[in-house]
Amino acid sequence: MKDKNQMELGRRKFLVRSTLATAAVPFLSISSHAEQRQKDKSDPENSFEFVFMTDIHIKPEMNAPLGFQMAIDKANELSPDFVITGGDLVYDVMRGNFERSDTLFKLYTEMSKGFQMPVYNCIGNHDLFGIYEESPEDESHPDYKYGMWERYFGKTYYAFDHKGWHFITLNSLDVTDNKRYKGFFHKEQLQWLRNHLKKVDRSTPIVITTHIPMLCTFSQLNGKEGSRTVENNFEVFEIFKDHNLKVVLQGHIHWKEYGNANDRVQFLTGGSIAGNGWKGRRHNTKEGFMKIKVSGDTFSWEYIDHGWEAERLKIGIPKEK
């Protein structure tokens, strides 16, 4: 009987040890995966930095070239993999005047050659040529609306890949019947986007860049009438519902903002380089740009002061011509 009891006790000990050993396997596996994920995040192949720089508003006046050069120098000092701009590169071509407008785009193009890394541009409302009623050029001009932009930079919406992340720049602008601009994604672009995403793996982290915000708290915080967002933004979010949209980068408002909408999408409104027309802060947001760090499948951001406010106060505000 004793031997039988001892045998039963031995059997139970064996079962307990076997169960513990079996139970330990998943935990070892999880630990191994966690270590692998941590390794992936620290792996240079899965980590990179880029700059998001919006609302540059370049023009010859108001020391704007000096301010933009300071931003270029600061970006080069940080040495990101690339720069994404958020629109309103120039100020201003909406009122037409071909000679002046073309000069502004030439100025931006020449100055942006100073970046020591690739630059991916986005179109803003001030970059739409000749759309206002007072413009001496009209719809018949080859550079009308998107034409001048396309002549300098190519398509107003496009995509590229970098170290496992997918970047999509969208054109968030159209023209109203009464010759003003509006935030709107036109049908041809939305169809392009649907077709394009069919070729993108659903797990791939995606970044959207747009000038007019897709999500923004400006009106709620400031009590301003009218929306500060793209009219049909919901159509884009619907297109992305089954994809891994990580963040929307946006400009236009000249203020700094970060939000996370129900863990569905994060958005960054990137301040501005020009502030209030190179005369100071707008909405009390210091002039600057976003430095974004990607690590594995996550990102973090920092707002960078490129020094223009201190320089502007030192040299004084010139009279606008």
Query: Considering only CA atoms, which of 189, 198, 188, 190 is closest in space to residue 166?
Result: 198
33 phi, psi to nearest 5 deg:
-65, -40
pLDDT tens digits for range 268-301: 999 999 999 999 999 999 999 999 999 999 999 9
Res. 203: pLDDT tops 70: yes
Peptide bond into 242 cis (omega under 30): no
**What token pair was written down for 183?**
């935030």
222 — pLDDT class (breaks 50, 70, 90): confident
Query: Which pLDDT tens digit goes with each residue over 116-143?
Result: 999 999 999 999 999 999 999 999 999 9
pTM: predicted TM-score of the whole model, two decimal places: 0.85
Which CATH number does the domain 46-315 belong to among 3.30.530.20, 3.30.2310.20, 3.60.15.10, 3.60.21.10? 3.60.21.10
Supply the DSSP string of 224-238, one letter for each residue: -SS--S-TTHHHHHH
Structural contact between residues 243 and 206, judged by C-beta atoms closer than 8 angstroms:
yes
* Range 26-39 average pLDDT: 35
Q: 34 falls in which pLDDT band (50, 70, 90)?
A: very low
pLDDT of 26 reads: 31
